[in-house]
Each structure stands twice: as structure tokens, then as C-alpha cells.
Amino acid sequence: MGATTTRVIPLRAEPARRGPRATPKGRQVQPSVRERVQALCAGLAPRRDLLIEHLHRLQDAEGALRKGHLAALAEHLRLSQVEVFEVASFYHHFHVVEDEAEVPATVVRVCTSLSCAMAGAESLLADLQRQMGTSARVEAAPCIGLCHGAPAACVGQRQLPEATADAVRALVDSGQTGPRALPAPQLSDLPQLRRLLSGALTADAVLAELKASVLRGLGGAGFPAWRKWETVRAHAGPRHLVVNIDEGEVGTFKDWAVLTDPQAGAMQMLEGALIAAQVVGADRIWLYLRDEYHDARVHLTLALELLQSALTGFGQAFPGYQAPAIELRRGAGAYICGEESALIESLEGKRGMPRLKPPIVALHGVFGQPTLAHNLESLWWVPVILDKGGAWLAAQGRRGRSGLRRFSVSGRVNRPGVRLAPAGITLRELVDEFAGGMPPGHELYAYLPGGASGGILPARLADVPLDFDTLAEHGCFIGSMAVVVLSQHDRARDAALNLMRFFEHESCGQCTPCRAGTTKAVQLLQAPVWDADLLGELSQVMRDASICGLGQAAPNPVDSVLRFFAHEVNGEDAR
């Protein structure tokens, strides 16, 4: 054996230790900026879960979110700057700019989703972008809940149905960009809540009426209401109730109509929420309202004031009753927050990213507590059911279906709008009996039974009953009952491309099948002749591997075109 050579590796000299930093890491906050942010956020508790409300305060005042203000807000809320920035950059309605950037006083959002696109929204958007100059920031927007007034725009905080370039310019020039004035809600003495608190109606009796009514969740999933109530009620408190008013599905605007009805709208929904809270034992109610509905937010704020007036004296009349605390929260332009778990993330002041969860979100609710989440309309029906009886509501359907449904009807009809009709009605009946038929020169070609997610059906299936569970054999579902009617002047493949662009824009980006799949689908759908095999494979991957319903349902319109409109797939004229 040879001699072993030992290699000596010299050690590096240790760098001199530095003293403590003179300033903390990250963007430094100027005293004047700190004072400005504190002034704008005065009266709002510096809580993490109120981060989005703080961001709204800043943007409403400044027209955008300046990076220096975000740093000051992080300091104010004792959060890291990245925590604030990632939330501010997630939601579409927040606009992050440099400190010195010039910001137009008004943002004009032109809806380019399906019903508005059919009414000329792209031309309107191009005209406004050419004409407005620096007087307003003009941008395309997904569905803003004015499908019955297509083409529609949102000018500042004012929704404008049947928008024209002249009408938009007039609002901007006059400064009339605040919420529309709506008829004030009327005071209610909450008769069904009184029955429950007096003992004339028990919690078990309420659940029995819910079962008899066959009431289901009316936000899209259609889960039986009574089962959700019993699930949450069975778990230890504290419990929460979330009212989902974040309808963002293309073609859907029924919740706005229900909420803003002065006779039996917001107050009736709030009574239903209080009854649900009493039955399941929830001590806090969260109202999550989509940000496009500025007028509805004013209306709902007035209704909450009336509610407090109506509850005055309940303590004496019903000793021991403590009304739940109610918080109204404002969304920030994210369709994904209509999904229950993403909505709950947003309520906690985070990005609206869906959670991996079991079928019922009860045990994974707000701040980890059992949570009953309901669409606004579902709770609106509760006082009606207790007044008229669950059996009465169940008997209102057609063709063996139970209940009444509010359909948001738009597209090629004479009278678009929200129509209360029997469950099990057909598309042909809905159009002819409730929507005034189709305009002259238009014949039924296709229709969406359930908004962007529900698929597209041909005219030959216009006599299929519209309700939960009736469309599955055709690869479609009723969802939020958003009905968009197409005529022979439209193409189903164009509708599918419009809807896929919507899903691409609204994907939260958390999972690759949805994030990359929607982008790839948009590319494939623009080909003159579709690659049906590749689109079919992509659809299957998105369905199997996406985390939430957005990615799982996004292929539905494409699959419908492949199934029912093969001539369009091959590049032939739909007519």
C-alpha cells in the first residue's frame, strides 16, 4: 500500500458580524403615507380577516392600490407585505400601481360574456377604448349580472344596462358614477321568526317543513337544504352561517332581483337567515355580496338597519334570545368565490382559493368552525315555506317535479329577465309563456340551461323538463338556472369559446389541470376545424384532476358542441 496523503482545506475567514438593521426589510413606509392609510381605514378594526375590506377602503379613495399604501396597510394590520400584496393582486377589481402613477377617476368595465357579446359588447368596448382617452380606464369584464340588459357596463360603481358609448361618456362627464338608487326595503315584523322564538314552531318542525318542501340549494349544486341544516346542527359550536350572494355564473342575475325587491326581498332573506341560525345554533352570520352589486349593497345596508329596528324589543318578548352578529362583506371580482370553500377563504381575508374538502363543507368552515353555507334565494324561501307549508311549495312543479324556480332568462328572447316558473317547465314553455317568445327573424337554435357551466343543448331538446337531475343524460345540468337562448344567427362553437375564455380568466390558478387546461382549450377552440380527439382528452383530464367545480365543469360547453353540433366542429355553417 502507498502512503496516504492528507489534503488540508483552508478555512474561510468568517465575515464580520453586522449590527442590527437600521430599518426593517421590505418597502419603507413614509410617515405621510402611514397617516393617509390610517385615516382611510378609521373605524375598521385592524383584523386579518378584514384585509379585503381595508383594500376596498384604499381603492375607493385613491382609484387604485398604490404600493406604498399596501406597505403601510401591512404595517397597520401587522401582516407581511407579501401577505397583503398576494391578496391585492388576486382579485380582479383591485388595481395595483406604483406610488407616482396617475390613476383615472373612473373605471369602465364592459361585460363581454355571452349575452352581452351577442348584443355587440365587443364593438362597444372598442368604441369606448378609442373615445375615452385618459378620462377613464376602460377594460373588458366577465359577467356583471346585467344579462337581461345586454350590452351592459359598470361605470365606476353604477351599473348601466343597454349601454352605449354616449351613455357611458355622459355618466363619466357628469360624475354620476355612484350606485343606482333603488326603492328602499320595507320594514317587516319577522312573523315566522316570532313563531319560532315563541315556541309555536319548534326547530324539528322547521326541519320537517324543509323536508316536505324539497327545498334544495339554489346556487347551483342543489344539495337538499334540510340535510345541510341537520349536518351543521349535529356538531358542537360555535357555528356560523354564510349567505352566498356572489352569483358570478354567466347568465345569472336572479339573486340581485330577489335581494332588491322592496316588498319581500332583503328583509325576507334576513328573516330566513335568522331562522336558520336559530335552528342550527349559529351565533354569527356572514353576508358575502359580489362587488358588482354596489346598488344592492346600499339596499342591503338599509335592510340591516331596518332589521335592527325590527329586533328591538325581542329581548323582552323572548327572554334569552340573542340575535346573531351579522357582518356584510364585499367581494372583489372573483367568480371562484361563488364556490363555498373559496368564499370562506375570502371571508378570512385570503385569496379565494378552493380547499380540498369533503362533500359538505360544514366542518371546514369560517375559522375552522362548523358552517352552514346557503345561497341567498334558498334562505328567502324559508319564511314562505313556514307560512304556506312545505307541501304547498312542493306541489307547484310540473311533470312530477317539486317547487318553483327562478330562471334568469337572457339572449334571443323578447322579454329577458328573472321569471318565477314551475320546476319541470321546458325551455319552449319558458320562452313562450314567460319570456315573450323570440324576436322576429329569430328561431330557436340552441340554449344554455344552466349558465356557463351547464352545457349547451340543441333546439330539438327544448321540451326536456328543466330542473335538477333532468339533464344529466344529455351531459348538462340546471345549475343556477341561468338560461341563455341562441338563435340561428348564433353559433354554438362561438358560445363555447366565449365561455372557455371566461373560465380561463376566472381560474384561480391553484391546480394545473384547470389553469393550463382552460388556456389550452381556448387555443384549440380558435381553430377553423376542431381537434375533437384532443379536446376530448383535455376535457377528461380537467374533469378528473381539477380541485373544484370550475375546472371540472369548464369543459361542459365544449363537450356539448362535440356531441350535438358536429357540423360546427367541422367548420360548417351552423345555418
Q: Are residues 157 and 282 in the same domain?
A: no
Could you give the CA distance from residue 462 to residue 466 in angstroms, rounded to a whole number?
Answer: 9
DSSP β-ladder status, 137-141 and 107-111: parallel
Choosing from 342, 359, 390, the residue where a domain stops is 390
Residue 329's H or E segment, with its range, is strand 325-330
What Rg, from alpha-carbon coordinates, does the chain have?
Answer: 26
The three-point CA angle 360-361-364 to 5° equals 140
Number of neighbouring beta carbons within 10 Å of residue 120: 14
Give me the CATH number covering residue 64.
Answer: 1.10.10.1590
Give pLDDT, residue 104: 93
Identify the DSSP state of 464: S
Say yes or no: 335 and 271 in one domain. Answer: yes
Which cell is 119 given? 348584443
Strand partners, 325: 284
Confidence (pLDDT) at 476: 96
Q: By percentage, how much of the chain surpasses pLDDT 90?
A: 87
Assess whether 43 and 150 both reside in one domain.
no
Question: Is the pLDDT assigned to residue 406 strictly greater than 60?
Answer: yes
pLDDT by residue (tens digit) across 47-75?
999 999 999 999 999 999 999 999 999 99
Does the pLDDT at position 212 exceed 60? yes
Specify the DSSP class assigned to residue 470. Answer: S
Q: Are residues 93 and 224 in the same domain?
A: no
* Per-residue CA distances from 320 to 85, 196, 315 (Å): 44, 13, 7
The pLDDT, as a whole number, for residue 363 is 56
More confident residue, 430 or 19: 430
Q: Is residue 474 part of a domain?
A: no
* pLDDT digit string, tens, across residues 121-177: 999 999 999 999 889 999 999 999 999 999 999 999 999 999 999 999 999 999 999
Q: Is 541 helix (H, G, I), strand (E, B) or coil?
A: helix
pLDDT confidence of residue 4: 55
Whether residues 170 and 286 fall in one domain: no
Res 208: pLDDT: 98
Residue 1 has pLDDT above 60, yes or no: no
Nearest to 231 by CA among 196, 285, 195, 281: 281
CATH code of residue 121 = 3.40.30.10
The length of the chain is 575
Considering the chain, what percentage of its residues have pLDDT values greater than 70? 94
How many distinct structural domains can be found in the chain? Answer: 4
DSSP label of 460: G
Domain of 131 in residue numbering reads as 107-174
Taking the C-alpha atoms of residue 459 and residue 446, their distance in angstroms, rounded to an integer, is: 5
Q: Is residue 503 part of a domain?
A: yes
Residue 183: pLDDT over 90:
yes
Q: How is residue 537 written as a grid cell?
A: 382528452
CA dihedral sign, ordered 239, 245, 250, 253: positive
Q: 235 and 259: one domain? A: yes
In a domain, 140, yes or no: yes
- Would the pLDDT of 12 be above 70? no
Which triple of cell numbers denotes residue 315?
329581548
40 is a domain residue: yes
Please give the pLDDT value at position 483.
98
Please check the confidence at residue 21 and state whether its pLDDT lies above 80: no
Mean pLDDT, range 530-537, rounded to an integer? 96
Q: What pLDDT is attached to residue 313?
A: 83
Structural domain includes residue 558: yes
User: Which phi and psi (to 5°) does residue 343 adopt?
Assistant: -60, -45
Query: Of 401, 458, 396, 454, which Cα lies nearest the Cα of 428?
Result: 458
Asked whether residue 119 falls in the same domain as residue 88, the answer is no
Whether 553 is covered by a domain: the verdict is: yes
What phi, psi does 300 have (nearest 5°)? -70, -35
Q: Report residue 6's pLDDT band, with 50, 70 and 90 as the boundaries.
A: low
Note the pLDDT of residue 508: 94
Tell whether omega for the bond before 191 is within 30 degrees of 0, i.e. cis: no
Instruction: State whether 54 and 143 are in the same domain.
Output: no
120 plus 91 within the same structural domain: no
pTM, full prediction: 0.93
- Of the three residues 147, 174, 201, the one that is the final residue of a domain is 174
Element (H, E) at 384: helix 376-388
Residues 48 and 149 in one domain: no
- The reply to whether 45 and 119 lie within a common domain is no
Q: How large is the average pLDDT for residues 34-44?
A: 97
pLDDT, the chain, mean:
93
With b for 16 or more beta-carbon neighbours within 10 A and e for fewer, the 94-105 pattern comes to: bbbeeeeeeebe
**Same-domain pairing of 376 and 498:** no
Is position 124 within any domain?
yes
Choose one of 374, 390, 406: the last residue of a domain.
390
Alpha-carbon distance of 3 to 496, in angstroms, equals 78
